[in-house]
Amino acid sequence: MPNDKTTILIVEDEPAIVELVSFTVKAAGWQPVTAQTTAEAWSCLQQKMPSLVLLDWMLPDQSGLKLLSRIRADHNFNAIPVIMLTAKGLEEDKIAGLDRGADDYVTKPFSPRELTARINALLRRNRPEHGMEVLKAGPLVLDQMSCSVSLNERKIDIGNAEYKLLKFLMAHPDRVFSRSQLLDKVWGQHVEIEERTVDVHVLRLRKALKDAEFLIKTVRSMGYMLSEK
Ligand code: CA
């Protein structure tokens, strides 16, 4: 994926908006892929993993929220950033979208500039290797150039597996990952390690982090997350 053009999946059924959004996405140098229904969007997802999804709320076959829930429940797709596009500006709708795992929310009508800025912000957050060399969380700084981690500006000793795990968690803060997701994302799908091994690495990571170990949260019966809260 690194050298591929960044693909943005646009799930929207109103032709005028599809056109405007596709144009905006192209103008920013990304590759738009469009789907008019949630079913079509789901098959696009299987064919090529997009870097981000722009998802309309009201779609002909199902609500965009349903698709969002499906994306978040699927371990292959749940880390894809999703921006909800909608005419609804009601606070409760916004909360419903964010509750189900939308990363951001844009209310129609929106300006191309605003949309581009929101997409950029999410892409930067999700793909730190493309733009952000330094990741920060509380007193921790992870420098991808030197592959080092500092706690309150002092370098700490950290093993390679724990470094990779920490890098992944810092790049996706406030999101829970199951053990099997972490195995897939951090060690790759083809590595044969048991899920329990993840616990061992988390234990070592916490030890290495010393005072910053509170950043790594255990979410009961779900997995782990990194959060400053
Ligand atoms: Ca619509």
Mean pLDDT of 56-77: 91
Q: How far apart are CA 110 and CA 21, in angstroms?
A: 10
Q: What is the DSSP letter of 48?
A: S
pTM of this structure: 0.57
pLDDT in tens, 117-165: 999 988 887 665 544 578 899 999 998 877 889 999 899 999 888 998 9
Helices (H) and strands (E) in the chain, counts: 8, 11
User: Which range among 73-77, 208-212, 217-221 shows the weakest confidence by mean pLDDT?
Assistant: 73-77
Centre of ligand 1 to C-alpha 124, Å, is 27
Q: ∠ CA(153), CA(156), CA(161), 5° rounding?
A: 130
Centre of ligand 1 to C-alpha 62, Å, is 10
Q: What's the pLDDT score for residue 3? A: 38
- Which burial class, exposed, middle or buried, applies to 213 when counting CB atoms under 10 A from its CB (0-12, 13-18, 19+)? middle
Mean pLDDT of 11-38: 96
Q: What's the pLDDT score for residue 119? A: 94
Q: What's the pLDDT score for residue 5? A: 77
Question: Residue 109 corresponds to which tokens in the numbers above?
Answer: 């009508």
Q: How far apart are CA 22 and CA 99, in angstroms?
A: 27
Contact (Cβ atoms closer than 8 angstroms) between residue 57 and residue 94: no
Centre of ligand 1 to C-alpha 69, Å, is 18
Torsion of CA 192, 199, 217, 155, to 10 degrees: -90
Centre of ligand 1 to C-alpha 114, Å, is 19
